């Protein structure tokens, strides 16, 4: 338990499910509370929490600004999270991992193409099913654009994201989190399924974001109980 190392993805501080489980009323309050727990863990147990720099640190910083969090949140990030750039040139990753990742991406791309083809057929069929009225040509076109094409495009975007992006590493910060965790022999904290899946492939410990605060609280609870007994 002592002197454990963790590498945080942005979702470690921003996960909605974590806020619901812990009862935080807002995103900014949730970030503050989690960072305070990290501070207690650092001081009481020597636990170190890292954030890849600059990729994930920049994401966290921009997230706090975008959501109107006060300066205190940024100060806590700067104080209690250790900023470190992953050593991308020295961390060894087996060729089998790359082979599996390329195969996985090829399969996902093909499935994404299938989603696109289905949506094209759905749009064409829906348009043909509407009876064309010469006297209402403009209204007809507006109805097609608004009611059919717009709605189908919206469904397509959701299905495409789910099919192509769910469970894959689709950003440089995601990869930095895994490389840094591998380098430090640390556990990853995230709520991203892609990170979770590839952490398993790389032999990196993974802790879901929604259980991390409860884990720290459990540590602190037993520390205080031991202190009161002694």
Q: How confident is the model at residue 101 (pLDDT cuts 50, 70, 90)?
A: confident
Average pLDDT (49-75) is 96
Same domain, 86 and 197: yes
Same domain, 56 and 130: no
3-state secondary structure the chain: CCCCEEEECCHHHHCHHHHHHHCCCCHHHHHHHHHHHHHHHHHHHCCEEEEECCHHHHHHHHHHHHCCCCHHHHHHHHHHCEEECCCCCCCCCCHHHHHHHHHHHHHHHHHHHHHHHHHHHHHHHHHHHCCCCHHHHHHHHHHHHHHHHHHHHHHHHHHHHHHHHCCCCCCHHHHHHHHHHHHHCCEEEECCHHHHHHHHHHCCCEEECCCHHHHHHHHHHHHHHHHHHC
**End-of-domain residue from the set 144, 165, 186:** 165
**Residue 130, pLDDT above cutoff 70:** no
Residue 169 or 82, more confident? 82
Same domain, 82 and 111: no
Cα–Cα distance for residue pair 27/20, rounded to 1 Å: 10
Cα–Cα distance for residue pair 229/127, rounded to 1 Å: 75
Taking the CA atoms of 194, 198, 204 and 206 in sequence, report the sign of the dihedral they define: positive
**End-of-domain residue from the set 142, 165, 188:** 165
**Residue 134, pLDDT above cutoff 50:** no
Q: What is the dihedral of CA 17, 105, 176, 71, to 10 degrees?
A: -40
Same domain, 82 and 182: yes
User: 33-37, 141-145, 185-189: lowest mean pLDDT where?
Assistant: 141-145
Residue 16 or 170, more confident? 16
Same domain, 27 and 125: no
Same domain, 157 and 103: yes
Same domain, 56 and 147: no
Contacts 24+ apart (CB under 8 A), 119-127: 119/152, 119/153, 119/155, 119/156, 119/159, 122/152, 123/148, 123/149, 123/152, 126/152
**Residue 210, pLDDT above cutoff 50:** yes
**Residue 115, pLDDT above cutoff 70:** yes
Average pLDDT (134-142) is 59
User: Which segment, 53-67, 140-154, 167-181, is predicted with the most confidence on average?
Assistant: 53-67
User: 50-59, 83-92, 159-168, 203-212: lowest mean pLDDT where?
Assistant: 159-168
Instruction: Count how many domains the chain has.
Output: 2
Which of 228, 187, 220 minimizes the C-alpha distance to 45?
220
Residue 6 or 158, more confident? 6
**Residue 102, pLDDT above cutoff 70:** no
User: Domain containing 21 — which CATH number?
Assistant: 3.40.50.1010
Residue 2 or 184, more confident? 184
**What is the domain extent for residue 106?**
95-165
Q: How confident is the model at residue 104 (pLDDT cuts 50, 70, 90)?
A: confident
- As given in the structure block, the two tokens for residue 65 are 């600004």
- As given in the structure block, the two tokens for residue 51 are 């954030």
**End-of-domain residue from the set 165, 190, 205:** 165
Same domain, 184 and 150: no
**Residue 1, pLDDT above cutoff 50:** no
pLDDT recorded at residue 110 = 79
């Amino acid at each position: 338990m002592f002197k454990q190392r963790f590498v945080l993805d942005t979702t470690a501080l921003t996960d909605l499910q974590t806020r619901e489980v812990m009862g935080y009323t807002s995103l900014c309050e949730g970030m503050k509370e989690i960072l305070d727990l990290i501070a207690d863990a650092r001081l009481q147990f020597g636990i170190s929490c890292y954030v890849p720099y600059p990729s994930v640190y920049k994401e966290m910083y921009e997230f706090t600004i975008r959501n109107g969090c006060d300066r205190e949140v940024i100060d806590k990030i700067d104080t209690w999270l250790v900023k470190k750039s992953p050593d991308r040139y020295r961390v060894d990753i087996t060729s089998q991992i790359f082979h599996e990742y390329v195969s996985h991406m090829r399969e996902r791309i093909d499935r994404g193409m299938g989603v696109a083809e289905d949506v094209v057929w759905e749009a064409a069929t829906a348009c043909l099913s509407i009876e064309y009225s010469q006297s209402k040509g403009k209204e007809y076109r507006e109805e097609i654009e608004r009611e059919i094409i717009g709605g189908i495009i919206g469904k397509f975007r959701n299905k495409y994201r789910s099919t192509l992006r769910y469970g894959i590493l689709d950003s440089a910060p995601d990869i930095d989190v895994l490389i840094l965790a591998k380098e430090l022999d640390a556990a990853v904290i995230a709520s991203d399924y892609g990170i979770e899946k590839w952490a398993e492939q790389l032999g990196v410990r993974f802790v879901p974001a929604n259980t991390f605060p409860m884990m720290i609280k459990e540590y602190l609870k037993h520390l205080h109980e031991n202190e009161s007994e002694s």
